Structure 1
Amino acid sequence: MNLRAYWRFVVVTWQFLPLLVAYTRDRNRFLFFGSGRSVSSDTRRERARVLLDTLLTLGPTFIKLGQLLSTRPDVLPPEYIEELEELQDRVPPADWERAREVLEDEVGPIDRAFDEFDTEAISGASLGQVYYATTENGEVAVKVRRPGVKDLIESDLRVISWSLPILMYFIGQARAFSLETLADEFDKTIREEMDYGREAEMLAEIRGNFDDDSRIRIPEVDETRSTSKVLTMEYVPGTKITDIDELDDRHLDRTELAETLQEVYLQMIIEDGVFHADPHPGNLAVQDDGTLVFYDFGMSGYVDPFIQDKIVDFYIAVADQDIQAILDTLVEMGTLSPEADRKVMGDVLELAIADVRGEDIEQYRVQQIVQQVEDTIYDFPFRLPANLALVLRVATVVEGVCVTLDPDFDFIDVATTYLRQQGFLADTAREYVEDRVDEVQEATKSAIRTPPKLEEALDQAINEDLQVEVDIRDSQSLLDRIAKRLIYGMVLASAVFSSAVLVAFGQFVAAAVAVGFTAIVAVLLFLSFRDSSGIGAQPQFTRQNMRQQDRE
């Protein structure tokens, strides 16, 4: 294995050498000395094509890596992303005779395991190949792992690990964080994707979460003909989801399809916590009745509860167009550096939200924001922690598919409607009211602590020889009245707001209780001001006396 890894390292280095030399000259024009040079968009696109050809030449591992890179704008510039997207459909076919050996080693002779078997692959992937067959139970799709791919991937993963420190030299700190995260993610996901037994388990779990949803269809696994290297499942044909002409010929509502796709992934990520993580168009199809079909669950993942909550917070902040709340959520998730320029990032987010909503954006505004970030684009403060990388991949690819189906698709509106229907927005309102109650309690404690702290502050002022004499009569009762009025005022303000929120969200019983409580507090506050007693302080100095003392 080590010898093979060393040889692969030589091969990979040789293939990437032209790009490495070019990137080195970007830093030092004459490799080891000289000033840096700027790189135009056309040059980046040309290099991206070279990278694409290199990845195809190096085989399955690097094809898979390129597919993953095509969804990571935090690692590569846009020109690279656009070129690498071609890898989703440009995967060389596997050799059938070698694939036959894998298949028969796992499930036995083909003529015994299947009634019919078509040796022409119906779908190709970087790690496997899918064939059409029939059994006594009907039509099936048979996914066979590429022969020898596991040893090749193990060698390539070592090569990537050895190459990572070299690549760090060519990128900034922010992208270095994302690149390290990408390497960890790639190592984990490609190992999981090679295990068809795990894929069968993930497929079954996700399928179970949608048993009652007639809008989607997930193939059923044929466990008797499935192993860690072969996955046999129900054959479910359909029209590729981005085949717009075919969908229109079948009179299917593309806007409805986009909304369904978005809602399905929101359920997977926010509610179920387990999701299909490879929603590119080749893995999505539509049946004649409009049912969405999902294929290839090799890349699937889980979402922990903390990230689920933060995603909900993010969508709510986006729906409210609360830029500061969006930034806070991104920082809490670890997606945005705490040291990021919030003003610049806020402008970028405002522009992004307006663009997603299809609003008209004045050209000068775009140019202004581009000018703000173009000089530091490679040090952009966005980064992707490992627990968010797959989630962002899904969000990015799903949005692209939805916009292809409906150019006017507003994912913010769909997400907001979904969250409201599922009760997330109502829960958030109740949490907001609870937070305000907690704030009032803290304010009450602070008001009670104020009198002794005020006395201490006055003592310190006297000890520092300040020429001020103050005589406050009935100080304790005076401060008690002030504290009481402050507390009544804060409670009243919070109660009025809470009542309004509860009415807005249809919580009428709770709103009635809140209104009653508000009225009681209002009466108490009013009565506190009817008290005729007031401040009885006798000042021992006037402005004229102070001037006189200064002259003396």
Structure 2
Amino acid sequence: MGGGRARHVTRVLGRLLAEQARSQRAKPGEGAEERARALREALQELGPFYIKIGQMLSTRPDFVSPVVLRELKLLHDQVSPAPFTVFEPVLADELGPRWRRLFREIDTSAPLGAASLAQVYRAQLTDGTSAAVKIQRPQVEGVLMDDMRLLRRAARVLARAAPRFTAVVDVPAMLSVLFEAMAAEADFRVEAGNMRRGRRLALEFEHLSVPRVLMPPTRRVLVQALAPGVSIRDADPGDFTAAQRAAIGRDLMAFMYRGYFLDRYFHADPHPGNIFVAPDEPAHLIDWGMVGRMESGASRGLVLALLNVAANDGAGLATTWIEMGNPTAWADLAGFRSDISLLVPKLSSVSLEELDFGVTLTAILMHATRRGIRTSPVISLLGKSFANLEGSIRYLCPELSITDVFADNLRTIIFGLARETLSEQQAARTALDLMIAAPGALQQTRGILRTIADQDLTFHAKVAGESNEPGKLSDTGSRTFWAALVLAVFLVRRGRRM
């Protein structure tokens, strides 16, 4: 990396640290908005890694001040288009000097999209198939590698200079998560693999799809099917029926929930520009250059955390989060429990117009960090993905209830988690373990097991906004679901103690 860029990067990172220090004050200082805007513009100028870092920090109120958060939410990776002549040598190198024979036509007059890593052009294959051709900018891979090395060095310096801070916010680990998530940005063959996997996972969703990869990808060129419609940000909700809007929103959320909790493989950047919609068409999730991966314990813990939110159980959520994290020697666990007990009642079953679940997730992060509890670094990436997803769906279907969609998919998630750990032969033994390990719940557990045996499970559940009326689940699948739920929650807790 050139000395000039290294110094510039160092200055920007120094400003980030200064803003982090200011965020600890009760009020931002004078000129805070101007500083925040300058910081956002500097990160945008530095390129993709720094943009992604800024976007992750936009969900970390524990790290930067509210005024900086607002600015970082405006970060986008869009640059002025470069002429096609800049990209033509890349096509020749990757596809051969006769690359034009692969296309009936390619519109080189203006790209469909321009970012700091690549530009995308509309094309038509020789068989008439409409396509999008993504071409990496020359020399960009070298810049990415240099940035990775510089940021790793900076993280090590920060760890030595501020050990108390990095004991709570593991910056090196956060960078590792980011670098892994962005591996496909430097090699489009990896992105093509991400797309193929995403497309397989989306097959069961009627209102969601992932574009096909149309030609064997190369390191710097990716040819994929052209997504129909427009960005969800630019779509007119009036062009869709209410049923279409709700179906698209539900399938998008369900797909992402299953990615977070079951597949543990999720699109980490579902911002509005990466979701295309059209009436009478499934939504298309594009740009798989950034994906996240979840460790099994973290995904099970998050399911339990969301169950606690849905049950308006602040104490349960605090306990789950502490178990998922790593409290420092000076952690204030009682203070954290108090914080969460005040936060959770606000999360009643409301629509996207009233609730930003991604930001709520990161609000928990803020309290955890302030109270000395380290949280898994992948949560920052997941929080970014959550926030992007909700912001995207809000353009088309703001009335959609997040908690309703989660409840609809809970059965599938719990069954999937149970299948990972249990066989039919193990189920009875695990239930007995549950009774032994949790004597306080002995009578309740016996009752559940008895009603399962009687093939008739009655349950009482209170969700915010609903009365505490008994409900009856008469079908075998629902009985099995509630049994699996009890067992899965127990396994989550027992797995952490092992």
SS in 1 for 2:64: coil
Preserved CA contact (<8 Å) 2:312 2:347:
no
Matched, 1:215 2:194: no
1:525 equivalent in structure 2: none
Cα deviation 1:224-261 (Å, max 9, x = unaligned): 4x2011110011122322336x1223445434432221
Matched, 1:379 2:333: no
1:163 equivalent in structure 2: 154
Change (3 A) 1:7 1:111: same
- Residue in structure 2 matching 1:111, options 100, 113, 121: 100
- Residue in structure 1 matching 2:118, options 107, 128, 140: 128
Matched, 1:205 2:197: yes
Cα deviation 1:309-340 (Å, max 9, x = unaligned): 22322222222222222223222322776965
Q: Mean Cα displacement is larger for which, 103-112 or 435-444?
A: 435-444
Cα deviation 1:328-373 (Å, max 9, x = unaligned): 322232277696544543454355444443679xxxxxxxxxxxx9
Q: C-alpha displacement at 1:141, in angstroms? A: 0.3
Q: C-alpha displacement at 1:122, in angstroms? A: 0.7
Distance 2:21 2:272 in 1: 38
SS in 2 for 1:54: helix
SS in 1 for 2:121: strand
Preserved CA contact (<8 Å) 2:227 2:276:
no
Preserved CA contact (<8 Å) 1:287 1:293:
no
Structure 2 residue runs of 5 or longer lacking an equivalent are 352-363, 460-472, 480-498
Q: C-alpha displacement at 1:216, in angstroms? A: 0.9
> Amino acid of the residue matched to residue 229 of structure 2?
G
Preserved CA contact (<8 Å) 1:319 1:413:
no
> Amino acid of the residue matched to residue 298 of structure 1?
G
Matched, 1:183 2:134: no
Q: C-alpha displacement at 1:415, in angstroms? A: 0.6
Distance 1:511 1:187 in 2: 41
Matched, 1:416 2:413: no
1:154 equivalent in structure 2: 145
CA RMSD of aligned residues (A): 4.1
- Residue in structure 2 matching 1:310, options 274, 289, 301: 301
TM-score normalised by length of structure 1: 0.68
SS in 1 for 2:289: coil
Matched, 1:499 2:420: no
Matches within 5 A, 1:285-364: 285-334=276-325, 340-357=331-348
Distance 1:442 1:164 in 2: 42
Q: C-alpha displacement at 1:443, in angstroms? A: 9.3
Matches within 5 A, 1:448-467: none
Distance 1:406 1:336 in 2: 39
> Amino acid of the residue matched to residue 300 of structure 1?
V
Preserved CA contact (<8 Å) 2:62 2:367:
no
1:83 equivalent in structure 2: 71
Q: C-alpha displacement at 1:495, in angstroms? A: 2.7
- Residue in structure 1 matching 2:85, options 97, 112, 117: 97
Cα deviation 1:257-313 (Å, max 9, x = unaligned): 322211111122223332222111110111211511110011113333333322322
Change (3 A) 1:353 1:90: farther
Preserved CA contact (<8 Å) 2:168 2:328:
no
% identity of equivalent residues? 27
> Amino acid of the residue matched to residue 503 of structure 1?
L
Distance 1:426 1:507 in 2: 23
Matched, 1:273 2:264: yes
- Residue in structure 1 matching 2:9, options 7, 12, 28: 12
Distance 1:343 1:387 in 2: 25
Q: Mean Cα displacement is larger for which, 181-190 or 145-154?
A: 181-190
> Amino acid of the residue matched to residue 457 of structure 2?
V
> Amino acid of the residue matched to residue 51 of structure 1?
L
Preserved CA contact (<8 Å) 2:20 2:65:
no
> Amino acid of the residue matched to residue 336 of structure 2?
M
SS in 1 for 2:457: helix
Distance 1:330 1:180 in 2: 21
Change (3 A) 1:356 1:154: same
Distance 1:216 1:84 in 2: 29
2:34 equivalent in structure 1: 46
- Residue in structure 2 matching 1:194, options 182, 186, 196: 186
Cα deviation 1:67-124 (Å, max 9, x = unaligned): 3433444433332232122222543434432222112211134422221111211112
> Amino acid of the residue matched to residue 8 of structure 2?
V
Preserved CA contact (<8 Å) 1:75 1:175:
no
- Residue in structure 2 matching 1:438, options 410, 433, 443: 433
Preserved CA contact (<8 Å) 1:74 1:383:
no
Q: C-alpha displacement at 1:194, in angstroms? A: 1.1
SS in 1 for 2:123: strand
Preserved CA contact (<8 Å) 1:132 1:140:
yes
Preserved CA contact (<8 Å) 1:174 1:383:
no
Preserved CA contact (<8 Å) 1:144 1:231:
yes
Q: Mean Cα displacement is larger for which, 132-141 or 417-426?
A: 417-426
Higher relative contact order (CA 8 A, sep 6+): 2
Distance 2:265 2:218 in 1: 22
Change (3 A) 1:71 1:107: farther
2:228 equivalent in structure 1: 237
Preserved CA contact (<8 Å) 1:357 1:410:
no
SS in 2 for 1:312: helix
Distance 2:100 2:67 in 1: 48
Distance 1:160 1:266 in 2: 31
Preserved CA contact (<8 Å) 2:205 2:251:
no
Distance 1:443 1:380 in 2: 29
Preserved CA contact (<8 Å) 1:307 1:333:
yes
Preserved CA contact (<8 Å) 1:144 1:229:
yes
Preserved CA contact (<8 Å) 2:44 2:76:
no
Change (3 A) 1:377 1:221: closer
State how many pairs are aligned. 441
SS in 2 for 1:115: strand
Q: C-alpha displacement at 1:387, in angstroms? A: 4.1
Distance 2:375 2:438 in 1: 38
Preserved CA contact (<8 Å) 2:232 2:395:
no
Change (3 A) 1:228 1:413: same
Greater Cα radius of gyration, structure 1 or 2: 1
